[in-house]
């Protein structure tokens, strides 16, 4: 994959070496030689990843990273710190400042490209969800003020390791902060992962009985777990296995012997990132739901119904089964708003919608068509059955008063309903028009009644079976 990478180092030869290595792999490389320039370029050019040296004059890499992560405009850019420092305390300081990973000089090419590819994959996915969230906000579907500060809420971790000493150590480290499940058997772990809502999988790459990379691959290929972060425990001698794992999709690793502080920081980073991803994904799904539903009633809106009705009619043509449609309108609804106010009117609309929902099948489609008008689409239903259901709905509205305004007001209300059935090769527009004409006839004839739009007998009526109600 191609990407723009910002390389930051005060030593020109170091910059040129990294620039040459990345350019050979067809990355677009931008360079900076001090912290202030790096911050300015990151803001202006929005690189996909930053390779940041730690030891620089004026402003060291830790401070640059902190400022990048504190600015919402650059906080999403992955940062790999490149340093001659190799102590665990230095790695912890870098991770706490917001760095996503560490490389130690001299930089190993395989390690460099494994980390770059891994973080770029993650950023591409995150960018997609962020873009969808921003678009939803611009359209007014969701509010960016809905964002919550990420905080670990007793996250669940599955530790997969058959080394007893390592397992005891992990239990001690995690016990106070997280809900930890310890599983030495990788086949059992896979079952647990598919059935449980975990926030992190910690997997030892040193197993005497199973192939841990196979498990990592299955986690990434399964729909239930493909977004689950994977943190691996690696021996110094297993670097080749680690690089293969990074290519598969491992998110992070800790080298043995395990440094407790480094493990804690890397664990927290992965869980916070998972929660951020979950929030973006949840907002996306919520925005999709809000885009197709009516906010007052929770029923589908007119746009969704129109599109879905066409699909239902296409299926009906192929299966030779009828689709019935009814349009309902609350009688004399305007005086309710004029006399009692729009709050009472909204209560009536919500109660009316609830009664519709209790009277139709799960396969039927109910929507708010606009104002006080509602549409119910009934697949695999003939006209006789549809008219029976329509009459039942009419009685439910007329026979029981609408209790609204916190049970302070009872209103006697009725509705008029127009019903029709699809004909062969019919489009949604003509079906809706015929039902609408039947509705207006019901209103002209005195309201509080069901009118069935006459239509010629079709092949649907001759050949189809009808779902029982």
Give catalytic residue positions: 372
CA 204 from centre of chain:
29
Phi, psi of 35 (to 5 degrees): -65, -50
Token couple for 185: 């058997």
Taking the C-alpha atoms of residue 258 and residue 232, their distance in angstroms, rounded to an integer, is 11
DSSP string, 134-201: HHHHHTTSS-GGG-------S-EEEEE---HHHHHHHHHHHTTTSEEEEE--HHHHHHHHHHS--SEE
In the three-class reduction of DSSP (H, G, I as helix; E, B as strand; rest coil), residue 100 is classed as: coil
Q: Are 80 and 100 in contact (CB under 8 A)?
A: yes
Taking the C-alpha atoms of residue 267 and residue 261, their distance in angstroms, rounded to an integer, is 10
Query: Quick one: the chain helix, strand, coil %, rounded to 5?
Result: 50, 20, 30
Taking the C-alpha atoms of residue 177 and residue 152, their distance in angstroms, rounded to an integer, is 9
Residue 328, strand partner residues: 374, 417
Residue 236 DSSP one-character state: G
């Amino acid at each position: 994959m191609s990407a723009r990478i910002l390389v930051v180092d005060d030593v020109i030869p170091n910059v040129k070496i990294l620039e040459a290595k990345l350019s050979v792999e067809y990355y677009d490389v931008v360079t900076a030689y001090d912290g202030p320039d790096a911050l300015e370029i990151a803001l202006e050019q929005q690189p996909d990843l930053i390779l940041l040296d730690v030891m620089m004059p004026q402003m060291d890499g830790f401070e640059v990273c902190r400022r990048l992560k504190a600015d919402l405009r650059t906080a999403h850019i992955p940062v790999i710190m490149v340093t001659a420092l190799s102590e665990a305390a230095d790695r912890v300081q870098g991770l706490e400042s917001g760095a996503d990973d560490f490389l130690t000089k001299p930089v190993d090419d395989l390690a460099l490209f494994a980390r770059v590819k891994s973080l770029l994959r993650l950023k591409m996915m995150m960018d997609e969800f962020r873009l969808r969230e921003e678009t939803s906000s611009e359209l007014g579907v969701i509010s960016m003020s809905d964002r919550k500060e990420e905080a670990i809420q007793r996250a669940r971790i599955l530790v997969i390791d058959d080394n007893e000493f390592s397992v005891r150590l992990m239990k001690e480290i995690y016990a106070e902060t997280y809900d930890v499940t310890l599983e030495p058997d990788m086949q059992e772990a896979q079952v647990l992962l598919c059935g449980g809502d975990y926030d992190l999988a910690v997997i030892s790459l040193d197993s005497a009985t199973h192939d841990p990379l196979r498990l990592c691959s299955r986690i990434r290929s399964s729909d239930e777990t493909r977004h689950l972060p994977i943190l691996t425990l690696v021996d110094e001698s297993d670097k080749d296995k680690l690089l293969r794992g990074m290519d598969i999709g491992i998110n992070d690793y800790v080298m043995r012997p395990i440094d407790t502080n480094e493990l804690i920081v890397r664990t927290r980073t992965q869980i916070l990132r998972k929660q951020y991803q979950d929030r973006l994904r949840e907002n996306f799904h919520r925005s999709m739901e809000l885009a197709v539903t009516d906010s007052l009633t929770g029923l589908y809106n007119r746009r969704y119904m129109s599109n879905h009705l066409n699909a239902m009619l296409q299926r009906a043509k192929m299966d030779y089964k009828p689709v019935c449609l009814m349009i309902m309108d609350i009688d004399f609804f305007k005086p309710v708003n004029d006399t009692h106010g729009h709050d009472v009117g909204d209560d009536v609309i919500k109660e009316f919608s609830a009664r519709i929902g209790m009277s139709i099948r799960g396969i039927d489609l109910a929507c708010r068509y606009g104002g006080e008008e509602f549409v119910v689409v009934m697949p695999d239903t003939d006209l006789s059955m549809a008219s029976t259901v329509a009459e039942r709905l009419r009685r439910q509205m007329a026979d029981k008063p609408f209790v609204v305004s916190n049970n302070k007001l009872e209103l006697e209300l009725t509705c008029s309903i127009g019903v029709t059935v699809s004909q062969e090769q019919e489009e949604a527009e003509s079906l809706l028009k015929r039902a609408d004409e039947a509705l207006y006839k019901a209103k002209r004839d005195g309201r509080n009644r069901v009118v069935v739009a006459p239509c010629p007998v079709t092949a649907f009526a001759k050949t189809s079976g009808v779902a029982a109600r």
